[in-house]
Structure 1
Amino acid sequence: MNAFRTGVAVLALLLLAVPVAAHVPSFPVDNTTPERAVAVPDPVKSWSFYDRLGAGEVKYYRASLDAGQRLEVGTFTPQSGAFTPSVVVMSPSLNATDDVPAGVTVPDGMGAVVVEGERPTSATYEPFAPSANYQTARVTMPVEEETTYLVAIYEPTGQSGPAGVTLGYTESFSLVEYVSVPFDLVRTHLWEGQNLFVAVGPLFLVVLGGLGFLRARWERAWTNAPVRVLLAVAGLVIVGSGVNTLAQMVLAVLRTGPTSAVLVTAAFVVVPLLCGGWVLWLALRDEPTLTMGTRVGLLVSGTLALLTWAGFIVGTVILVAVAVTPARFVRDQ
């Protein structure tokens, strides 16, 4: 009962924490002119756009806001050195006529405000997608009447590099956006400049090593072979996700230094390790029977894995499928 209450408490905390603090990731392409600007579907919703500037290139975003809302835009980059993404905000509602950098196109009828970025001395730790980024510019504008904003991202000296853009201030996820996050995180780490082995290598090492261990321990007398294999695969993918998150956390902290924000990331490490470890223990038991309590445990573990972005959906699907499998297909007690 204590374990059940602990699981429920963790589940509730994760349900509350993630939607109010994380950004929805997106990966724009070909937004190099005002006509091709990324049309932000809900500019109040909090987005993270993982973009890239070529030498002398400018990227554009378009957002329509109503009176009483506000425009919030920020830029960041994982790249060390002098690369400093900056912002030009344009709108018919702006009367400013700042000197716009060369290469930035201001459509007719729009005023412009230039916010040149400043390079911070140290990187900031991002706990939900464990990473280290340099926050370079921030713009907040209250909206007094319905209007459209065109946001241009540029680099003052024309350098190239990965340029991240945050837009919006209300954190929320659709179901599809939430379950897609594990795949988006891999793309995010590749955007940062990691190679594929660093981005997902720990996960694959855990899965391959675990399957080798399972094969070495396999006993002919074991019953319920399909259930064992399914539980082992789900457990390994979930544990591997936790290990992968831990590796990314360590890499980020090596750049930012210690920070209390790692406690948030720790939940995305500890929960998958505990849930996946328990599932692996079930798979290696002499008799992997599915009692009612075990079935409930599988459902809770699958839900927690999904909430902590562990298992790439596969782990959760397997655990739920095993949990609801009719008794006639498995040895039950």
Structure 2
Amino acid sequence: MTRRRIALVLLVLVLVVTPVAGHVPSDPGDNDSPTFAVTVTDAAKSWSYYDEIDDGGAQYYRITVDEGERLKVSAFTPDDGPFTPSLVVMAPEIDGDDAPPGVSVPDGMGAVVVEGERPATPGYEPFAPSANYETAAFERASDGRTTYLVALYEPANRSGRAGVAIGYQESFTPAEYATVPFSLVDNRLWEGQPLALALGPFVLAVVGGVGVFARRRRHTSGKPVAESLLLGGGLLVLASGVNTLVQTGLTLAATGPTAGALVTAAYIVVPAICGGWAIRVAGRSQGRFDARTRVGLAVAGLAALVTWAGFLVGPVLLIAAAVAPARFLEASPTEWLADR
């Protein structure tokens, strides 16, 4: 496949991925009373809060909905079994007072209960492969600016991991987008995965790649800085694709085949192409890049960044190799450090 065709494939995959990037993952913190409720000021933006319910308690979220927007909230859990997260939606405009014991309703607010129902099989989350059971959902249009209080609880007072998804528009700030890879590791730990499984395939891919490259390239300390940048960046990016591949397999084993896996494939294929190509360039480069190679490295770094590959470091190394002056790239790491 020519470079032009590779670039076209990357462009198409990135364009497919970006609009379906999903919810902004968030940690709700200590929100076990209305006083300490999580404050959500942008009700339209998609958020995912990864929470827990303990000993018949409730977790609270305060959501302000502007005129013309709508409240959209749902509860989910990664746990199989009888544990069924449910919702209580409260607001001054709501007529009702049937909140269950353990859920606090502030004065002046009415409440409606959305009792959860556990589906037979979990749903598939494509942007970051995971299997979750959506148990309750509520949606309501707003005629004017309204502040809702939403409580997450379990009707039978069971304890377990429960999450809340809010909003309907996929939107990330640059900082939110850049930190998603780190949040995804936290999410997998929240789901109950051990760290060795959540991050192990990534680490093994990096270590294995370094070992293979070292055997083929002895005395790497004398090689140009360019090789170090490309090898480091390429392995980090490629390893992210390997990690996502393993997570996708685990998730599909729980959910069964689904079309959403086609979206996830972009998070595997793009890092594989970008990382693999950078490693290949590292194997033959002496730091002398023509303009086409530099453009290719910049595109690969940006594509890796968009698909959350390399934990920020990988894309930065590839972009650094694309823009660094030739004198820097052609030096050996020991020479460059000696000059400092």
Q: Secondary structure of 1:238's partner?
A: helix
Distance in 2 (alpha carbons) for counterparts of 1:109 and 1:221: 70
Matching residue of 1:70: 70
Q: Secondary structure of 1:249's partner?
A: helix
Distance in 2 (alpha carbons) for counterparts of 1:249 and 1:45: 26
Matching residue of 2:230: 231
Distance in 2 (alpha carbons) for counterparts of 1:280 and 1:5: 19
- The alpha carbon displacement at 1:5 in A equals 5.2
- Structure 1 residues 108 and 288, CA gap change in structure 2 (3 angstroms): same
Structure 2: runs of 5+ lacking an equivalent:
332-340
CA-to-aligned-CA distance 1:59-105 (integer Å, 9 cap, x gap): 000011122211000011110001111000000111223x2111000
Matching residue of 1:156: 155
How is 1:282-293 mapped onto 2 (pairs within 5 angstroms)?
282-285=281-284, 287=286, 289-293=288-292
Matching residue of 1:179: 178
Paired amino acid for 2:262? L
Distance in 2 (alpha carbons) for counterparts of 1:252 and 1:221: 39
Distance in 1 (alpha carbons) for counterparts of 2:137 and 2:243: 31
Matching residue of 2:100: 101
- The alpha carbon displacement at 1:129 in A equals 1.0
Matching residue of 2:28: 28
Matching residue of 1:316: 315
Matching residue of 1:168: 167
Distance in 1 (alpha carbons) for counterparts of 2:127 and 2:285: 38
Q: Secondary structure of 1:330's partner?
A: helix
Q: Secondary structure of 2:11's partner?
A: helix
CA-to-aligned-CA distance 1:287-324 (integer Å, 9 cap, x gap): 45311111111101001100111000101111111111
Pair 1:146-2:145 in alignment: yes
TM-score (norm 1): 0.95
On the 8 A contact 2:122/2:132 being kept in 1, the answer is yes
- Structure 1 residues 156 and 221, CA gap change in structure 2 (3 angstroms): closer
On the 8 A contact 2:126/2:264 being kept in 1, the answer is yes
Matching residue of 1:80: 80
Q: Secondary structure of 2:140's partner?
A: strand
Structure 1: runs of 5+ lacking an equivalent:
none
Distance in 1 (alpha carbons) for counterparts of 2:33 and 2:286: 63
Distance in 2 (alpha carbons) for counterparts of 1:113 and 1:222: 67
On the 8 A contact 1:20/1:172 being kept in 2, the answer is no
Paired amino acid for 2:60? Y
Aligned residues: CA RMSD: 1.9
Distance in 2 (alpha carbons) for counterparts of 1:105 and 1:222: 64
- The alpha carbon displacement at 1:328 in A equals 2.2
CA-to-aligned-CA distance 1:120-148 (integer Å, 9 cap, x gap): 00111111110111010010011112211
Distance in 1 (alpha carbons) for counterparts of 2:39 and 2:53: 18
Matching residue of 1:48: 48
Matching residue of 2:338: none
On the 8 A contact 1:127/1:265 being kept in 2, the answer is yes
- The alpha carbon displacement at 1:10 in A equals 3.3
Distance in 2 (alpha carbons) for counterparts of 1:197 and 1:221: 29
TM-score (norm 2): 0.93
Worse overlay, 107-116 or 323-332 = 323-332
On the 8 A contact 2:17/2:266 being kept in 1, the answer is no
Paired amino acid for 2:64? S
Matching residue of 2:39: 39
Report the identity percentage: 53
Pair 1:246-2:279 in alignment: no
Distance in 2 (alpha carbons) for counterparts of 1:12 and 1:44: 27
Matching residue of 1:3: 3
Distance in 1 (alpha carbons) for counterparts of 2:144 and 2:59: 26
